[in-house]
Amino acid sequence: MIKAQHHTASELLAILAARELKDGQVVFAGVGIPLLAATLAQRLHAPGLTILFEGGVIGAFIEPGKLPPSTNDQRCTKRANMVLGSAEVLLLLQRGYVDVGFMGGAQIDQYGNLNSSFIGGPEHPSVRLPGTGGGNDIASLAQMIVAMRHEKRRFVERVDFVTSPGFLRGGNSRAESGLPTGGMMRVVTDLALFGFDDTSRRMKVMALHPGVTREQVQDNTGFALIFDDDTGVTAPPTDQELKVLRELDPEQLYTA
Protein backbone atom coordinates (compact mmCIF):
# COMPACT_ATOMS: atom_id res chain seq x y z
CA MET A 1 0.00 0.00 0.00
CA ILE A 2 1.21 3.53 -0.83
CA LYS A 3 1.87 5.42 2.36
CA ALA A 4 0.11 8.79 2.40
CA GLN A 5 3.00 10.58 4.06
CA HIS A 6 5.32 9.96 1.10
CA HIS A 7 4.48 12.36 -1.71
CA THR A 8 6.14 15.02 -3.82
CA ALA A 9 5.30 18.71 -3.66
CA SER A 10 3.68 18.49 -7.10
CA GLU A 11 1.51 15.57 -6.01
CA LEU A 12 0.38 17.62 -3.03
CA LEU A 13 -0.55 20.55 -5.30
CA ALA A 14 -2.56 18.33 -7.65
CA ILE A 15 -4.44 16.58 -4.83
CA LEU A 16 -5.33 19.71 -2.87
CA ALA A 17 -6.42 21.51 -6.04
CA ALA A 18 -8.59 18.52 -6.99
CA ARG A 19 -10.38 18.74 -3.64
CA GLU A 20 -11.50 22.29 -4.51
CA LEU A 21 -13.47 21.09 -7.55
CA LYS A 22 -17.11 20.01 -7.33
CA ASP A 23 -19.28 17.63 -9.30
CA GLY A 24 -21.12 19.27 -12.17
CA GLN A 25 -18.66 22.12 -12.63
CA VAL A 26 -17.16 23.17 -15.96
CA VAL A 27 -13.40 23.63 -15.59
CA PHE A 28 -10.98 25.33 -17.98
CA ALA A 29 -7.68 23.49 -17.49
CA GLY A 30 -4.24 23.50 -19.02
CA VAL A 31 -1.77 20.64 -19.10
CA GLY A 32 0.35 19.68 -16.11
CA ILE A 33 -0.91 20.08 -12.56
CA PRO A 34 -4.26 21.66 -13.62
CA LEU A 35 -5.12 18.73 -15.88
CA LEU A 36 -4.05 16.19 -13.26
CA ALA A 37 -6.15 17.93 -10.62
CA ALA A 38 -9.26 18.07 -12.81
CA THR A 39 -8.89 14.46 -13.93
CA LEU A 40 -8.25 13.28 -10.36
CA ALA A 41 -11.42 15.05 -9.22
CA GLN A 42 -13.34 13.30 -12.02
CA ARG A 43 -12.11 9.91 -10.91
CA LEU A 44 -12.67 10.35 -7.17
CA HIS A 45 -15.58 12.63 -6.33
CA ALA A 46 -16.76 14.64 -9.34
CA PRO A 47 -17.76 12.25 -12.18
CA GLY A 48 -19.89 14.99 -13.75
CA LEU A 49 -16.98 17.45 -14.04
CA THR A 50 -16.52 18.78 -17.58
CA ILE A 51 -12.98 19.69 -18.67
CA LEU A 52 -12.40 22.34 -21.35
CA PHE A 53 -9.14 22.89 -23.22
CA GLU A 54 -8.05 26.10 -24.90
CA GLY A 55 -7.40 24.07 -28.05
CA GLY A 56 -11.16 23.56 -28.45
CA VAL A 57 -11.91 20.26 -26.71
CA ILE A 58 -14.99 20.06 -24.49
CA GLY A 59 -15.53 17.13 -22.14
CA ALA A 60 -12.13 15.48 -22.45
CA PHE A 61 -11.51 12.08 -20.86
CA ILE A 62 -7.83 11.49 -20.14
CA GLU A 63 -6.54 7.94 -20.22
CA PRO A 64 -4.18 6.89 -17.41
CA GLY A 65 -0.58 7.03 -18.57
CA LYS A 66 -1.47 9.01 -21.72
CA LEU A 67 -1.34 12.61 -20.54
CA PRO A 68 -1.25 15.07 -23.45
CA PRO A 69 1.83 17.32 -23.65
CA SER A 70 -0.26 20.27 -24.87
CA THR A 71 -3.91 21.28 -25.15
CA ASN A 72 -3.67 20.88 -28.95
CA ASP A 73 -2.57 17.24 -28.77
CA GLN A 74 -5.04 14.74 -30.27
CA ARG A 75 -4.98 12.71 -27.07
CA CYS A 76 -7.12 15.51 -25.63
CA THR A 77 -9.98 14.58 -27.96
CA LYS A 78 -10.49 10.95 -26.92
CA ARG A 79 -14.13 10.40 -25.88
CA ALA A 80 -14.64 14.17 -25.85
CA ASN A 81 -18.15 15.59 -26.15
CA MET A 82 -17.20 18.15 -28.76
CA VAL A 83 -14.23 19.72 -30.53
CA LEU A 84 -14.56 23.40 -31.43
CA GLY A 85 -12.25 26.19 -32.45
CA SER A 86 -10.41 28.20 -29.81
CA ALA A 87 -12.63 31.23 -30.40
CA GLU A 88 -15.80 29.22 -29.70
CA VAL A 89 -14.35 27.86 -26.44
CA LEU A 90 -13.45 31.35 -25.29
CA LEU A 91 -16.99 32.48 -26.18
CA LEU A 92 -18.25 29.94 -23.64
CA LEU A 93 -16.33 31.93 -21.03
CA GLN A 94 -18.01 35.15 -22.13
CA ARG A 95 -21.43 33.51 -21.95
CA GLY A 96 -20.85 32.41 -18.37
CA TYR A 97 -20.71 28.65 -18.95
CA VAL A 98 -17.33 28.12 -17.25
CA ASP A 99 -17.22 27.81 -13.46
CA VAL A 100 -13.51 27.51 -12.70
CA GLY A 101 -10.29 28.27 -14.50
CA PHE A 102 -6.94 26.81 -13.49
CA MET A 103 -4.23 29.45 -13.69
CA GLY A 104 -0.51 29.70 -13.22
CA GLY A 105 2.25 32.25 -13.49
CA ALA A 106 5.76 33.23 -12.55
CA GLN A 107 4.49 35.80 -10.04
CA ILE A 108 1.36 36.33 -7.96
CA ASP A 109 0.68 39.31 -5.71
CA GLN A 110 -1.39 40.00 -2.60
CA TYR A 111 -4.54 40.60 -4.68
CA GLY A 112 -4.18 37.47 -6.81
CA ASN A 113 -2.93 39.18 -9.97
CA LEU A 114 -0.73 36.89 -12.07
CA ASN A 115 2.29 37.62 -14.23
CA SER A 116 3.34 35.27 -17.02
CA SER A 117 4.73 37.94 -19.36
CA PHE A 118 8.11 39.21 -18.14
CA ILE A 119 10.23 39.86 -15.06
CA GLY A 120 11.65 43.36 -14.68
CA GLY A 121 10.73 46.44 -16.71
CA PRO A 122 8.88 46.28 -20.05
CA GLU A 123 11.68 48.01 -21.97
CA HIS A 124 14.50 45.76 -20.77
CA PRO A 125 13.08 42.72 -18.95
CA SER A 126 15.50 40.40 -17.23
CA VAL A 127 13.34 37.38 -18.14
CA ARG A 128 10.79 36.94 -20.91
CA LEU A 129 7.96 34.52 -20.12
CA PRO A 130 5.47 32.65 -22.37
CA GLY A 131 2.76 35.32 -22.15
CA THR A 132 -0.98 35.09 -21.72
CA GLY A 133 -2.43 32.61 -24.21
CA GLY A 134 -6.02 32.41 -22.99
CA GLY A 135 -5.03 33.27 -19.44
CA ASN A 136 -6.36 36.81 -19.48
CA ASP A 137 -9.72 35.64 -20.84
CA ILE A 138 -10.03 32.97 -18.17
CA ALA A 139 -8.99 35.25 -15.33
CA SER A 140 -11.33 38.01 -16.49
CA LEU A 141 -14.43 35.85 -16.74
CA ALA A 142 -14.26 32.91 -14.31
CA GLN A 143 -13.42 31.95 -10.75
CA MET A 144 -9.77 30.95 -10.56
CA ILE A 145 -7.62 28.39 -8.80
CA VAL A 146 -3.84 28.72 -8.85
CA ALA A 147 -1.48 25.88 -7.94
CA MET A 148 2.19 26.84 -7.63
CA ARG A 149 5.34 26.35 -5.58
CA HIS A 150 5.60 28.77 -2.67
CA GLU A 151 8.70 30.94 -3.07
CA LYS A 152 9.31 34.53 -2.04
CA ARG A 153 10.36 35.49 -5.57
CA ARG A 154 6.98 34.27 -6.83
CA PHE A 155 4.78 35.74 -4.07
CA VAL A 156 5.44 39.45 -4.51
CA GLU A 157 3.74 42.58 -3.21
CA ARG A 158 3.06 43.74 -6.75
CA VAL A 159 3.57 41.75 -9.95
CA ASP A 160 5.87 43.25 -12.57
CA PHE A 161 3.05 42.97 -15.13
CA VAL A 162 -0.62 42.00 -14.77
CA THR A 163 -1.02 39.28 -17.38
CA SER A 164 -4.13 37.80 -15.77
CA PRO A 165 -6.19 39.96 -13.39
CA GLY A 166 -7.08 38.88 -9.90
CA PHE A 167 -8.64 41.54 -7.70
CA LEU A 168 -6.37 44.22 -9.24
CA ARG A 169 -5.87 46.83 -6.48
CA GLY A 170 -8.17 45.17 -3.98
CA GLY A 171 -11.56 46.21 -2.66
CA ASN A 172 -14.04 46.79 -5.50
CA SER A 173 -11.36 47.69 -8.05
CA ARG A 174 -12.00 44.58 -10.16
CA ALA A 175 -15.67 45.37 -10.72
CA GLU A 176 -14.94 49.08 -11.11
CA SER A 177 -12.49 48.21 -13.89
CA GLY A 178 -15.21 46.43 -15.89
CA LEU A 179 -14.86 42.86 -14.59
CA PRO A 180 -18.04 42.27 -12.54
CA THR A 181 -17.73 38.47 -12.45
CA GLY A 182 -15.04 35.96 -11.58
CA GLY A 183 -11.95 36.55 -9.49
CA MET A 184 -9.36 34.58 -7.59
CA MET A 185 -10.92 31.81 -5.51
CA ARG A 186 -8.07 29.67 -4.16
CA VAL A 187 -4.28 29.53 -4.23
CA VAL A 188 -2.77 26.13 -3.47
CA THR A 189 0.93 25.90 -2.63
CA ASP A 190 3.26 23.35 -1.10
CA LEU A 191 3.01 25.27 2.20
CA ALA A 192 -0.63 26.29 2.61
CA LEU A 193 -4.09 26.84 1.19
CA PHE A 194 -5.17 30.45 0.57
CA GLY A 195 -8.37 32.36 -0.05
CA PHE A 196 -9.02 36.11 -0.26
CA ASP A 197 -10.54 38.48 2.27
CA ASP A 198 -14.12 39.42 1.32
CA THR A 199 -13.57 43.15 1.88
CA SER A 200 -9.93 44.01 1.17
CA ARG A 201 -9.47 41.13 -1.31
CA ARG A 202 -6.00 40.50 0.10
CA MET A 203 -4.59 36.98 0.21
CA LYS A 204 -5.55 35.10 3.37
CA VAL A 205 -4.24 31.84 4.81
CA MET A 206 -7.10 29.37 5.19
CA ALA A 207 -5.08 26.33 6.25
CA LEU A 208 -1.46 25.31 6.75
CA HIS A 209 -0.11 21.97 5.61
CA PRO A 210 0.89 19.54 8.38
CA GLY A 211 4.18 20.57 9.98
CA VAL A 212 4.22 24.04 8.38
CA THR A 213 4.27 27.09 10.67
CA ARG A 214 2.85 30.57 10.17
CA GLU A 215 6.37 31.95 10.31
CA GLN A 216 7.52 29.63 7.56
CA VAL A 217 4.72 30.74 5.23
CA GLN A 218 5.25 34.43 5.96
CA ASP A 219 9.03 34.15 5.54
CA ASN A 220 8.48 32.77 2.04
CA THR A 221 6.04 35.52 1.05
CA GLY A 222 6.97 39.00 -0.16
CA PHE A 223 3.98 40.74 1.44
CA ALA A 224 2.07 40.62 4.73
CA LEU A 225 -0.41 37.76 4.86
CA ILE A 226 -3.72 37.69 6.70
CA PHE A 227 -4.08 34.82 9.16
CA ASP A 228 -7.49 34.03 10.64
CA ASP A 229 -7.60 33.08 14.30
CA ASP A 230 -9.11 29.76 13.24
CA THR A 231 -6.54 28.96 10.54
CA GLY A 232 -6.81 25.22 10.03
CA VAL A 233 -4.56 22.37 8.92
CA THR A 234 -5.07 20.59 5.61
CA ALA A 235 -5.66 16.86 5.54
CA PRO A 236 -2.65 15.07 4.00
CA PRO A 237 -3.06 13.13 0.75
CA THR A 238 -4.81 9.80 1.26
CA ASP A 239 -3.60 6.46 -0.01
CA GLN A 240 -6.46 6.41 -2.54
CA GLU A 241 -5.71 9.90 -3.86
CA LEU A 242 -2.04 9.03 -4.37
CA LYS A 243 -2.87 5.68 -5.96
CA VAL A 244 -5.19 7.19 -8.57
CA LEU A 245 -2.86 10.13 -9.23
CA ARG A 246 0.10 7.83 -9.84
CA GLU A 247 -1.99 5.70 -12.18
CA LEU A 248 -2.77 8.82 -14.19
CA ASP A 249 0.87 9.89 -14.28
CA PRO A 250 2.94 6.71 -13.82
CA GLU A 251 6.09 8.26 -15.29
CA GLN A 252 5.73 11.35 -13.07
CA LEU A 253 5.84 13.68 -16.05
CA TYR A 254 4.15 16.39 -13.99
CA THR A 255 4.53 15.23 -10.40
CA ALA A 256 8.25 14.45 -9.95
Write out the catalytic residue numbers: 54
**DSSP letters of 136-191?**
HHHHHHSEEEEE----TTTB-SS-SS-SB-SSTTSTTHHHHTT--S-EEEEEE-SS
Quickly count: other Cβ atoms within 10 Å of residue 86's Cβ: 16
Strands (E), 72-132: 82-83, 100-103, 107-108, 114-115, 118-120, 125-128
Q: How far is CA 180 from CA 93, 108, 110, in A?
A: 13, 21, 20
At 218 the three-state DSSP class reads: helix
Q: How far apart are CA 219 and CA 255, in angstroms?
A: 25
Residues facing 195 on adjacent strands = 204
